[in-house]
């Protein structure tokens, strides 16, 4: 996974016009049920965030692309849970890891709408919470408000985290 993130970061550094579309696809993959369990992309998103300050990539389009990708991934996951209900647990990879969906279900039952916002920031919950929200038929507009607002915050946090790491590393490199 490190090699993938490094190659992708190198590509974005050399082809800055592709930064926003790549971030959109990575955030979508990181947020959609099933896919996020197989290909965690947050490391690549943080690495691309590190390029923002040092290479002149504009923050705003990359941030919005990341938020849109994350929100669309959760939207698809919600729809999938809403449409297929309890049959979701029979689909691979959730059939091999039933505890992931069980944790998402418990989290949605305990926290309700805030679970969408909170779950976005925690690994396996990121993809299972929207799926569980769909299964339990969380009201559509409540889900979407939490979905899009949390996607904006999540995208900014990941990208700015990478940017801050790059700034600190640069400062350490110059002073040490």
**pLDDT confidence of residue 134:** 94
Give the range of the structural domain holding residue 45, as residue numbers without chain letter: 2-175
For 20-43, how does the pLDDT look when each residue is reduced to its tens digit (9 = 90+)?
999 999 999 989 887 776 667 888
* CA–CA gap between residue 130 and residue 21 (Å, rounded): 23
Q: Counting runs of H as helices and runs of E as strands, what totals does the chain give?
A: 9, 0
- Which strand (E) or helix (H) includes residue 129? helix 123-135
- Which strand (E) or helix (H) includes residue 110? helix 98-111
**pLDDT confidence of residue 37:** 66
For 51-62, how does the pLDDT look when each residue is reduced to its tens digit (9 = 90+)?
887 888 899 999
For 109-163, how does the pLDDT look when each residue is reduced to its tens digit (9 = 90+)?
899 899 999 989 887 678 789 998 999 899 999 999 999 999 999 999 999 998 8
Which residues contact residue 82 at a Cβ distance below 8 angstroms, ignoring those fewer than 6 apart?
134, 135, 137
Peptide bond into 157 cis (omega under 30): no
Candidates 94, 92, 113, 90; CA nearest to 103 is 94
For 62-102, how does the pLDDT look when each residue is reduced to its tens digit (9 = 90+)?
999 999 999 999 999 999 999 998 788 788 777 787 787 78
**pLDDT confidence of residue 91:** 80
**pLDDT confidence of residue 53:** 77
* pLDDT band for position 1 (cuts 50, 70, 90): low
Provide the number of structural domains found in the chain.
1
Residue with structure tokens 């916002």? 117
């Amino acid at each position: 996974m490190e090699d993938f993130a490094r190659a992708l970061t190198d590509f974005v550094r050399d082809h800055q016009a592709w930064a926003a579309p790549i971030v959109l696809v990575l955030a979508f993959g990181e947020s959609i049920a099933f896919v996020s369990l197989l290909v965690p992309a947050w490391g690549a998103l943080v690495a691309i965030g590190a390029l923002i300050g040092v290479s002149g990539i504009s923050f705003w389009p990359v941030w919005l692309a990341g938020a849109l990708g994350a929100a669309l991934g959760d939207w698809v996951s919600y729809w999938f849970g809403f449409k297929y209900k309890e049959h979701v647990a029979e689909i691979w990879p959730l059939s091999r890891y039933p505890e992931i969906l069980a944790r998402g279900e418990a989290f949605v039952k305990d926290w309700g709408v805030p679970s969408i916002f909170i779950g976005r920031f925690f690994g396996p919950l990121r993809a299972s919470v929207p799926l569980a929200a769909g299964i339990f038929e969380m009201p559509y507009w409540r889900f979407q408000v939490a979905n899009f607002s949390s996607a904006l915050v999540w995208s900014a946090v990941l990208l700015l985290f990478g940017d801050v790491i790059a700034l600190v590393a640069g400062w350490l490199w110059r002073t040490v």
